[in-house]
Amino acid sequence: MGVLQRIAAIGAMAFTALNCTAEPGLTDSTITIGMSAPFSGPNGAYGLDMRQTIQAYFEQVNKGGGIAGRKLELVALDDGYETERTVANTKTLLGDKNAFALLAYYGSSPTTEAMNAVFGPAKVPLVGTISGAATLREPPSANPNARYMFNVRASYADETEAIVNQLVSLGMTRIGVFYQNDGFGKSGLDGVTAALKKHKLTPAAVGTVERNSLDVGKAVEAIAKASPQAVVMVTLYKPTAAFVKAMKKAGQMPMLMTLSPVGAEQLVQELANDARGIGISQVVPYPWNDVVPVVREYQKLAAKPGAYSYYGMEAYLMARTLVEGLKRAGKDLSRDKLVSALEGMGNADFGGYRVNYTGSSRLGSRFVELTVVGPGGKILK
């Protein structure tokens, strides 16, 4: 080989190497996916359930040949459901950990802040978050960072409208709201208020609790004064349980409703018999219904009935959505191609659950159904 040929060969190898490393998180054999969720603290049970499901699904995909020969690798960091830690984790995932894409975040404020400050400006897609906040559902034309946020679940507005319509249909007009003082709680409060307005009603009373706090005394006092017929609780399971117990102690027995992020299984475990009769809106199919194809697939992954959960079901749907996007993006993968592939998914049917994206919409799904805690803590449709 002559000198010129050697120079050309070295140049070709260097060009190939640059191409292979042009997209962070991609190698010839792997795709690194980043996740930030609570794995510790009062909400750690949520994140642990999600991570376990996603890891099991990734193992299944990898055993089947991966994505065009590349294996999926999950890097999951604990944020304790704190906004600052979520933002810091996102920076770490995109920097030190070289995540190609993000998956299954948790919470309204943490995800919104991460979208606007980190992964949106970096043009890295995030598929799925446990949040129905309107701030994560803006069209890309209104917020350029929203192009990289792909929601899989229905919005809080969808959930609260279903709850309020049910309560009003039962003849209830005095409806209170107990909400968490953060993006999640405020979005839910706005949703309840908007839904009540359609019936020419307003909240009968409002009480609040701080994020990661169980200090519900003032909220109970404010709401109990109004003696509401029903209370919509826009809180996670520990403050929800504290509120339910305190309301009963105060002699208040309204109908109690809460939103999907509460975690039906965690709430039942926390409240035991006191959970009976609480209504919960859900944004994914009933995890114990093996008639629905996508639920059967999730159940095989979870391995045993005691492991089935709504959080696991939702994490599975998030992971399925990401994998479908990766497959459609093709072997010559890039972040931009993944975004375009997700945008072009249209009305994708995973076997009983549909996810719909377009170039101007990131809503994902509007699926909502109401459940109630029955005898023995069983969740009933």
- Could you write out the DSSP letters of every residue in 207-268? EEE-TT----HHHHHHHHTT--SEEEEES-HHHHHHHHHHHHHTT---EEEE-GGG-HHHHH
Q: Compute φ and ψ for 215, nearest 5 degrees.
A: -80, 85
Q: Compute φ and ψ for 254, nearest 5 degrees.
A: -75, 165
Predicted local confidence at residue 13, as pLDDT: 45
CA angle 316, 57, 311 (to 5 degrees): 30
Show the domains of the chain with their CATH numbers.
10-154+291-364 (3.40.50.2300), 156-282 (3.40.50.2300)
- Are β-strands 279-282 and 369-373 bridged in parallel, bridged antiparallel, or unpaired? antiparallel
- In a 13 Å sphere around the CA of 272, the CA atoms on its Cβ side amount to 1
Predicted local confidence at residue 12, as pLDDT: 43
Mean pLDDT by 10 residues, the chain (381 residues): 46 42 88 97 92 97 97 98 97 98 96 97 98 94 96 96 98 97 94 98 98 95 97 96 97 97 92 96 95 96 84 97 97 96 92 94 95 94 90
Residue 245 tokens, joined? 């117990």
Predicted local confidence at residue 346, as pLDDT: 84
Predicted local confidence at residue 2, as pLDDT: 52
Predicted local confidence at residue 34, as pLDDT: 98
Residue 346's CB: how many other CB atoms inside 10 A? 11
CA distances from 305 to 184, 195, 301, 302, 381 (A): 30, 36, 11, 8, 17
Predicted local confidence at residue 262, as pLDDT: 95
Q: Tokens 């008639």, residue?
A: 291
Distance from C-alpha of 40 to C-alpha of 313, rounded to nearest angstrom: 21
Q: Compute φ and ψ for 191, nearest 5 degrees.
A: -65, -45
Distance from C-alpha of 363 to C-alpha of 55, rounded to nearest angstrom: 25
Residue 70, burial from CB neighbour count under 10 angstroms (0-12, 13-18, 19+) = buried
Which of 182, 177, 207 lies closest to 194 in space, CA to CA? 177
Predicted local confidence at residue 304, as pLDDT: 73
Which of 74, 70, 72 lies closest to 97 in space, CA to CA? 74
Cross-strand pairs, 78: 37
Distance from C-alpha of 193 to C-alpha of 351, rounded to nearest angstrom: 34
CA distances from 44 to 20, 181, 188 (A): 37, 19, 22
Predicted local confidence at residue 114, as pLDDT: 97
> Using an 8 Å Cβ cutoff, are 81 and 212 in contact?
yes
Distance from C-alpha of 283 to C-alpha of 159, rounded to nearest angstrom: 8
According to DSSP, residue 155 is labeled P
Q: Report helix angle 293-302 to 44-63, nearest 10.
A: 100
Instruction: Determine the distance from the C-alpha atom of residue 146 to the mean position of all C-alpha atoms in its chain, rounded to a whole number.
Output: 16
Reading across the β-sheet that carries 126-130, which strands appear in turn?
71-78, 30-37, 101-106, 126-130, 149-150
